[in-house]
A and B are shown apart, each in its own frame.
Chain A
Amino acid sequence: MLEQFGLNEPLHIQYYIYMKNLVQGNLGTSFIVGKPVFQIVLHRALNTLVLMLPAVFIAFMIGPVFGAFLAQNRRRWIDPIGLTFTLILYAVPIFWSGMMAIMIFSFKLGWLPPGSMYSPAFIPQGFFHSFFNLEFLRHLILPVSVISLYLLAVPTLTMRSNMIATLGSDFIEMARAKGLSERAVLYRHAARNCLLPVVHFAAIQIGFAFAGSVVVEKIFSWPGLGLAIWQATSAHDYPLAQGSFLILATIIIILNFLADLSSVYIDPRVGIRGDLG
C-alpha cells in the first residue's frame, strides 16, 4: 500500500515524484475513491462552474443598475436604506443565509429541494441532458439566488461610489450644460465610465466565488470543487485535497489575470507598463 503511493520514500523524493507527475498532468490517485485525481477534479470544477457562473452573471446584471439607481437618488431617503440593505447582504455570512434559505424554502414551505444536484432517483442521460433539464434547474435556483444575493454587494457599492465621483466631474457638467436630460446624462455619459472597474471586479469576484464555494457547496451538498476539498480534508485524502486546491488556485490566478487583461482592453488609459501596484 505504502509503496503503491510512493509513501515509503523520503520527503524530498516524494516531492520530486509529485512535481514530476504534476508536469505530466498527473495529480496522483485519490486514497479514498481510487480514481485519478485529475479526472475527479475536472468533473467537480465543471459542477462548480455551472453553479457560480449564473450567480455571478445575475449579480453583475442587477448590481450596477441598482448602484446607479442609488447614486441617482443619493440625496433621497432611498439611498441610505439601499446602502444599508447592500451592506447587510455583504455582511451576512453566506453559509448562514444558505441555511436560512433551506430552512424557509425547503423545509417550511417545501417549494425547492434542500440540496444536491439531482434527486437520488434521477439519472442524467449524456452530458447535455445532465445540465439542461427541469430537475437540475429546480436544484439550481436556491444556491444560485443565495450566492448572487451575496455577490450583489460589490458591484452595487462600486457602481454607486464611482457614479457619485463621476457625477462631480467636468464632462458631466458639460453634458448638463448641453441641456441633455438627467437620464441621458446618467446612463449614457456617467454610467458607461463607471462600468470599467465593475467589469474588472466581475472576473475577480468569480475567483472569490470559487474560493467561497467550499461553504456554499457544503450547505447545499453540491458536488463541486469546494465540496471535494472539504471531503478530501476531512477524510485525509491528501492527493485529492492537494489536487483540488491546486486547480482552484490556478483558476483564481487565471481569472485575476483575465481581470487585469480585460481592464487594459476596455480602458486604454490603463497601460500594461504602468504601475499596477
Chain B
Amino acid sequence: MIRFPKIRLSTNTKIMLGNYKKGFRKVTREFIKSKLALTGIVILSVFSSVAVFSPHIVPYSPDMIHYDENGRVLSLLPPTKDHIMGTTFMGQDVFSQLLDGARGTLLVAFLSGLAILLIGANVGLIAGYYKGAIDALLMRVVDTLYGIPDLPFILIIALFIGPSIWTVILVVVLILWRTMARIIRSQTLSLSERPFVKAAKASGAGDFRIIYLHIAPNVASLIFAQLAIMVGFVIILESSASFLGVGSADIRTWGQMLQYVFVTGAIRHAWWWTLPPGACIALLVMSVFFLSKGIENITNPELERR
C-alpha cells in the first residue's frame, strides 16, 4: 500500500487556505446569482459533457455511410426520424458528426486557452513587475504580434509546416497571448506600486512570492475574464482555419464540417447540414462571452448598476 507523506501546513498557510475556501464559496454564490455568468456556465458545461461523452451518446458512428433499402447512399437526406439532422453529402449522420465535432472544437479551445493563459499571464506579470528593459523588450514583442494578421498567418505557417490541428493551435497561441499580456501588464504596473506590495517587499518576500502570491490573486479575475474572451476568439479562429482546410482529417471540428458543406456545394439547399455547426459555434462563443461579462460584473458590480 502506498503511504502518502503527511504534509504539515504552517498556521499561516492554513489561514490562507481557509481564506481561499471561504472565497471560493463566496464566488460560487455570486456566480449562481449572476444570470449572465450562470447562463454561460450552463451552456459551456452542456457542450463540455457532450464533448467528453460523445463516443457514448452518438446515435451512429460519425463516419458511417448510410444506405437506403436499395443500397443507394442516402446523400443529403433532409431531417427524418432516424436522422434528426439529416445526412451529409457522403450519407453520414449530421447529428452524430455534430456531437463528435464538439470534441475537437473544445479540445482546441481548451489547449489553446491553457497555453494562452500560461504565456500571456506570466509575460504580463513579469513585464509589469520588473519594468525597465525586460518590460520594454517583452512589450516590443507584443507590439510586433499586433501587426500580424491572424488568419492569413495560419495559412502561411500551414503552407510551410503542413496543415494540421496542431499548426492551428500553435499559431493561435503564438498570436493571441499578446492581448492577455498587455492587459495583465498594465494592471500589474499599477498594482506593483500599491502599499501592500511595498510591505511585502519590506518584509523580505522574494520576487517570485510577490508576483504569484500577492499580485497574481489580485489580477486573477481580470485574467479569467480576458481568458474567456480569448477562448471565444480561439474558437472562431480555429473554425475559420478549419473551414479554409487547415485542420487535420483525424480530428473533426465544427469548422471542418462547414468546410465540407462548402466544398460539396451543399450550401445551395442543405440547411440541415449548414445550420447546426455554425449555430453551435456561435452558442459556444456566446457562452464564453457571457462568462467573461459575468466575471466582470461580479468583480466590478458598480459598472452595470449606474
Residues of chain A touching chain B, judged by Cβ–Cβ distance below 8 Å, are: 87-88, 90-97, 99-100, 102-103, 107-108, 161, 164-165, 167-168, 207, 210-212, 214-215, 218-219, 226, 229-230, 233-234, 236, 238, 241-242, 244-245, 248-249, 252-253, 256, 277
Q: Is the CB–CB distance between B156 and A241 below 8 Å?
A: yes
Chain B residue numbers with a CB within 8 Å of A91 are 232, 236, 281-283, 285-286, 289
Q: Interface centre among B189, B267, B277, B304, by most A CB within 10 Å? A: B267
Tell whether A277 pairs with B185 under 8 Å between CB atoms, given A100-B275, A164-B306, A215-B151.
Answer: yes
Asked if B60 CB lies within 8 Å of chain A CBs, one says: no
Asked if B234 CB lies within 8 Å of chain A CBs, one says: no
Asked if B38 CB lies within 8 Å of chain A CBs, one says: no
Q: Is the CB–CB distance between B286 and A88 below 8 Å?
A: yes
Asked if B166 CB lies within 8 Å of chain A CBs, one says: no
Asked if B48 CB lies within 8 Å of chain A CBs, one says: no
Which chain B residues in 147-206 approach chain A with CB under 8 Å?
Answer: 147-153, 155-156, 158-159, 182, 185-186, 189
Q: Is the CB–CB distance between A102 and B267 below 8 Å?
A: yes
Q: Is the CB–CB distance between A230 and B244 below 8 Å?
A: yes
Tell whether A99 pairs with B262 under 8 Å between CB atoms, given A87-B286, A88-B282, A229-B156.
Answer: yes
Q: Is the CB–CB distance between A100 and B282 below 8 Å?
A: no
Q: Assign chain B's interface to a size class.
A: 35 or more
Q: Is the CB–CB distance between A214 and B262 below 8 Å?
A: no
Q: Interface centre among A87, A164, A233, by most B CB within 10 Å? A: A233
Chain A residue numbers with a CB within 8 Å of B277 are 96
Chain A residue numbers with a CB within 8 Å of B239 are 93, 95
Tell whether A215 pairs with B243 under 8 Å between CB atoms, given A229-B155, A249-B147, A256-B146.
Answer: yes
Smallest CB gap from B150: residue in A? A211
Q: Is the CB–CB distance between B232 and A100 below 8 Å?
A: no
Residues of chain B touching chain A, judged by Cβ–Cβ distance below 8 Å, are: 139, 146-153, 155-156, 158-159, 182, 185-186, 189, 232, 236, 239-240, 243-245, 255, 258, 261-262, 267-269, 271, 274-275, 277-278, 281-283, 285-286, 289-290, 303-304, 306
Smallest CB gap from A90: residue in B? B289
Q: Is the CB–CB distance between A241 and B159 below 8 Å?
A: yes
**11 interchain pairs, CB-CB under 8 A:** A90-B285, A92-B285, A96-B258, A96-B281, A99-B278, A107-B269, A164-B304, A214-B151, A229-B155, A238-B159, A252-B147
A-side binding surface: helix, strand, loop or mixed?
Answer: helix
Q: How far is it, in angstroms, between the C-alpha of A95 and the C-alpha of B258 when the chains are bound? A: 9
Q: How far is it, in angstroms, between the C-alpha of A165 and the C-alpha of B296 when the chains are bound? A: 14
Q: Is the CB–CB distance between A234 and B147 below 8 Å?
A: no
Chain B residue numbers with a CB within 8 Å of A165 are 303, 306
Contact check: which of A93, A229, A236 meets B152 at CB < 8 Å? A229
Chain B residue numbers with a CB within 8 Å of A234 are 245
Q: Is the CB–CB distance between A249 and B156 below 8 Å?
A: no
Q: Is the CB–CB distance between B243 and A95 below 8 Å?
A: yes
Q: Is the CB–CB distance between A93 and B240 below 8 Å?
A: yes
Chain B residue numbers with a CB within 8 Å of A226 are 152
Chain A residue numbers with a CB within 8 Å of B274 are 96, 99-100, 103
Chain A residue numbers with a CB within 8 Å of B290 are 87
Tell whether A96 pairs with B278 under 8 Å between CB atoms, given A91-B285, A210-B149, A277-B185.
Answer: yes
3 tightest A-B CB contacts, nearest first? A96-B278, A211-B149, A91-B285
Q: How far is it, in angstroms, between the C-alpha of A210 and the C-alpha of B147 when the chains are bound? A: 12
Smallest CB gap from B278: residue in A? A96
Q: How far is it, in angstroms, between the C-alpha of A212 and the C-alpha of B237 when the chains are bound? A: 9
Smallest CB gap from A212: residue in B? B151
Minimal beta-carbon separation of B208 from chain A (angstroms): 23
Smallest CB gap from A257: residue in B? B147
Known: A91-B236, A93-B278, A99-B274. 12 other contacts (CB 8 A): A87-B290, A91-B283, A91-B286, A92-B282, A93-B255, A96-B274, A100-B275, A167-B306, A210-B149, A214-B155, A215-B240, A234-B245
Q: Is the CB–CB distance between A92 and B278 below 8 Å?
A: yes
Smallest CB gap from A251: residue in B? B149
Q: Interface centre among A99, A100, A238, by most B CB within 10 Å? A: A99
Tell whether A230 pairs with B186 under 8 Å between CB atoms, given A100-B274, A100-B275, A248-B149.
Answer: no
Smallest CB gap from B151: residue in A? A214
Q: Interface centre among B159, B275, B304, B306, by most A CB within 10 Å? A: B159
Q: Is the CB–CB distance between B152 and A214 below 8 Å?
A: yes
Smallest CB gap from A107: residue in B? B268
Tell whether A95 pairs with B153 under 8 Å between CB atoms, given A107-B267, A167-B306, A277-B182.
Answer: no
Chain B residue numbers with a CB within 8 Å of A230 are 155, 244
Q: How far is it, in angstroms, between the C-alpha of A218 and the C-alpha of B243 when the chains are bound? A: 10
Minimal beta-carbon separation of B258 from chain A (angstroms): 6
Minimal beta-carbon separation of B14 from chain A (angstroms): 39
